[in-house]
Structure 1
């Protein structure tokens, strides 16, 4: 889910000025991005999310940009897209002792950036300095600052990471620190260019053109010598948020794409009848409600709880999600290794919802839901409206582009309730990471809710910090589960349902596709047939 820098800088990037030798690329999603035959033909993918968010790897939570960046950039370690097990990417090996407080990495010999310059230890230090800089607010800071003390160069191809305390989970998080060329991004204005789409990495694919709200194109990087060799000569990723247009692009005799994510559940049978493979992944993808706790009566926990109890989540799963989801029984999804059923579970209970509103002294409540226009979220909104209307809460829906919703939040405009999609599995599986992404004391989510100064929030943040530092895995897991009970009870930002994300592809043309439980596609192990 996007954050502040994800949502700025949506203007078109002058690619020719920043990527020497790049083609202009296609101007609309009606183009395929290039020709070619046989193994040299262009792979066309459809992504059901906008490509106009931030492309800065230290900032972005944009589904499109994060998926693309995994093909363009490398971390010291990267992770398997499904198991999230770390493997050597720019580094030559995974540290033997994950519990050590010093990790040393040697860079892969011959690794080069897409502009031909060698990858050096200075580039690694450059990125980590940005992430750890107290004066620079980045999304990545929340994933590293609590446990990583410093990163230093020991020679031109070796870096040393010093940890504040043993933190084995940190190895998988290194994929979130994509190594970026210092000679490119240290220039004045370069970080703004990164937000707008400038992407220069060392990964298997180089970006060749970027057209916000249309498409982004890639080509295999001939200089790549790492573990995930590119299988496609060129790729064209289309951004098509509209569900009907997205399905049309991958189905029928005129299909122009070979793979698409975010497939509407209602279209699965027709796509399968047409010979496509459709498969999903269950994880942290969720529809959440976020309340403005400074807009009365949403400062009252009873009101927040009432609105959750009022929602007929079983109907939502049955009607909107076609069975591909579950009502939330914790902040974490049931498949997460850290899951435990929360002490407070919001089963459908309209009588209890009415009683809570009465206890809070609230009558005649009118609620406007500021919602994102992601297709499956739009499908779920009528159930929320009908459920709230049924308990006497007059509800209006205002779905709009994700960038518009979060621009309003960034501008600190007033709101009552936001309904949006989130999936922290984009960043990883560990519960500590997921909870800090949503409930970190200084992150944007807490700024949006206006809740960080509440006494319960301050106690929660202390409990979260203690759990991060806990060395015993079993004890740490229990501590996280205990504070998730507080998060569930407070319902400031909390899931309504967890759902599967569906990916469709043509198995007659592609092999090696592994549908992932978070937005986007990963084609690093895919091949033409």
Structure 2
């Protein structure tokens, strides 16, 4: 049985609570001189060994790889830590990272791995099989119940040491998707994180891995710096001596850092749609990626009338999605036809699609016996979502639902949800593609019994929820790919019909970079950046 849901821990892992004070790498061997928050040594200033990046998300969230869903932290951890296998950031094809090979038979229920000879942690200690066993014990721990547990516990039975550099993974049933999913399990050093209180330190910013970059300094809300780890002997070595990642959540100063003759940074993510052409005119490359990034509505089903599926469906049908995409997103979006985005290989149109139909919305409210409804729509204050909120209000007002908008910082939003169990509807943004592409993984991020999001909906103990979770488990266990896909489509239909937590639209994310400073960059369809294959530009 899962450990009871800890809302405060959930806020930390999803990025809602910030760490207080500056955190530096705790082990002396991992420390280095902090870089400035400007780009003084960057390519824009004539240097040749430092990269400055601008990340449009906070760096003051959990740094624990078993817990975090923070865009900044997950991107950073991919440069600091390694899995047994890691995946290409775009195709998600697996490749050997700490392990020496991808298992040849991915339908087997026992996978054997040998660790890379000479692999060391950033403090110089050797990576051992004990570290692998330690990491997976944490992931599978029902008492700790970390975020990553839901991605593994259904199929992974046990991880055991068979030699100093050898481990075996035993599965409950064949699960070929494990090859790409193992990148989520970033291997962590037992001698560092096995200490009492170390998991709290990990959440607050301590990061010690075996990857090509080590964390040199960490100033929450400002920047995190990285240095190339000279002891790294893996497949994707560091290509920059130093990196300085600036955390700039507000759009205008983020754009200013990468634009104009005095640009301090060479790359930035989360580019506002309104600035794309301006940056292209400045000579920058601006490219997008369409994926699972979405705005969703989440209902408190313990607060009538939102326990009635017809009311939830009515509010989705009422939204003028085309106007939202045109006005709020400047065309960089697509109305949801399923929980999955249309580019996902498992996508098919759901049996319930929420087309803009105000007459249908009014009829559903009438069937539910709901009149004179007022809704306080709380939301996170992500800039592009805030641009979309007026359309929701206009749409709901038009069917007679008096709507108040309440955008706010994520921490404030979740605090109010904790303190006031009578909250009604929340609009927020998410992108489970940070973890991977397979639908089982994507849906388990939101739809897990006892998980964070389900606890907020207060729906997961209903009969409908239990039936859904059973269907999801059946799909996970199914060995035949065609039948697995059929079952996946069935549970996607259930999720669409129930509309408890469901996307209104999927939108494109934009990344900009200076092509005269960087090469090998690919725009991700999810927040953050990957620089493991980027190189300094040379003419």
**What's the TM-score once normalised by structure 1's chain length?**
0.97
The 8 Å contact of residues 57 and 177 in structure 1, kept in 2 or not, is answered as yes
The match for 2:39 among 28, 32, 37 is 32
Q: Which residue of 1 aligns with 2:302?
A: 294
**1:107 maps to which of 107, 115, 122:** 115
Q: 1:53 aligns with which of 49, 61, 80?
A: 61
SS in 1 for 2:467: helix
In the TM superposition, what is the alpha-carbon distance from 1:405 to its structure 2 partner? 2.4
Please say if 1:11 is aligned against 2:42. no
2:359 is matched with: 351
Per-residue deviation at 1:395? Answer: 1.3
Residues in 2 aligned to 1:268 and 1:158: alpha-carbon distance in whole angstroms: 49
| Equivalent pair of 1:214/1:238 in contact (CA under 8 Å) | yes
Question: For residues 82-231 of structure 1, what are the structure 2 equivalents within 5 Å?
Answer: 82-231=90-239
Query: 1:170, 1:473 → 2: CA distance?
Result: 14
Task: Indicate how the Cα distance of structure 1 residues 413 and 214 shifts in structure 2: closer, same or farther if over 3 A, else same.
Answer: farther
Aligned to 1:370: 378
Aligned to 1:404: 412
| Match of residue 387 from structure 1 | 395
The alpha-carbon deviation at position 22 of structure 1 amounts to 2.1
Deviation at 1:407, TM superposition (A): 4.1
**Alpha-carbon separation, structure 1, partners of 2:486 and 2:419:** 38
Q: 2:328 aligns with which of 307, 312, 320?
A: 320
Shift of the 431–469 alpha-carbon distance from structure 1 to 2, 3 Å rule, reads same
3-state DSSP class of the match of 1:15? coil
Distance of 1:493 and 1:33 partners within structure 2 = 44
1:438 aligns with 2:446: yes
Separation in 2, partners of 1:276, 1:435: 36
Give the paired residue count: 526
- Across the aligned residues of Structure 1 and Structure 2, the Cα RMSD in angstroms comes to 1.6
For residues 412 and 195 of structure 1, the distance between their equivalents in structure 2, rounded to whole angstroms, comes to 26
Which secondary structure does the structure 2 equivalent of 1:332 belong to? coil
Provide, for residues 429-455 of structure 1, a one-character-per-residue CA deviation record: whole Å limited to 9, x for no partner: 001111111111221111110000111
Matched, 1:22 2:44: no
Given that 1:53 and 1:196 are in contact with CA atoms closer than 8 Å, whether structure 2 keeps it comes out as yes
Contact 2:25 / 2:207 at 8 angstroms: preserved in 1? no
Structure 1: distance between partners of 2:19 and 2:401: 37
Shift of 1:12: 2.5
Distance 1:252 1:325 in 2: 28
Structure 2 contact 81–186 (Cα < 8 Å) conserved: yes
Q: Which runs of structure 2 are paired with 1:69-88 in the superposition (5 Å)?
A: 69-88=77-96
Looking at structure 2, the residues matched to 411 and 213 of structure 1 have their Cα atoms a distance apart, in angstroms, of: 25
Partner of 1:66 in structure 2?
Answer: 74
CA distance in 1, matches of 2:191, 2:22: 19
Instruction: Provide, for residues 150-170 of structure 1, a one-character-per-residue CA deviation record: whole Å limited to 9, x for no partner.
Output: 000001100000000000001
Unaligned segments of structure 1, at least 5 residues: none
CA contact (8 A) 2:32 2:227 kept: no
Q: Secondary structure at the match of 2:147?
A: coil
CA distance in 1, matches of 2:268, 2:30: 29
Q: Is the 8 A contact 1:25 1:33 kept in 2?
A: no
Contact 2:518/2:534, CA 8 A, preserved across alignment: yes
Shift of the 287–15 alpha-carbon distance from structure 1 to 2, 3 Å rule, reads: same
Larger displacement relative to structure 2 (390-399 or 109-118): 390-399
Specify whether residues 178 and 19 from structure 1 end up closer, same or farther in structure 2 by C-alpha distance, changes over 3 A only.
farther
Mark the CA change 1:96 to 1:342 in structure 2 (over 3 Å): closer, same or farther: same
With structure 2 as the length reference, what TM-score do the two structures score? 0.95
Alignment map for 1:235-246 (pairs within 5 Å):
235-246=243-254
CA distance in 2: counterparts of 1:524 and 1:266, whole angstroms? 29
Contact kept, 8 Å, 1:261 with 1:519, in 2: the verdict is yes
8 A Cα contact 2:23 2:220, kept in partner: no
Structure 2 SS opposite 1:140: helix
Contact 2:298 2:501 survives alignment (8 Å)? yes
Question: How much does 1:410 deviate?
Answer: 5.4
Paired position in structure 1 for 2:50: 42
User: Which residue number in structure 1 is paired with residue 495 of structure 2?
Assistant: 487
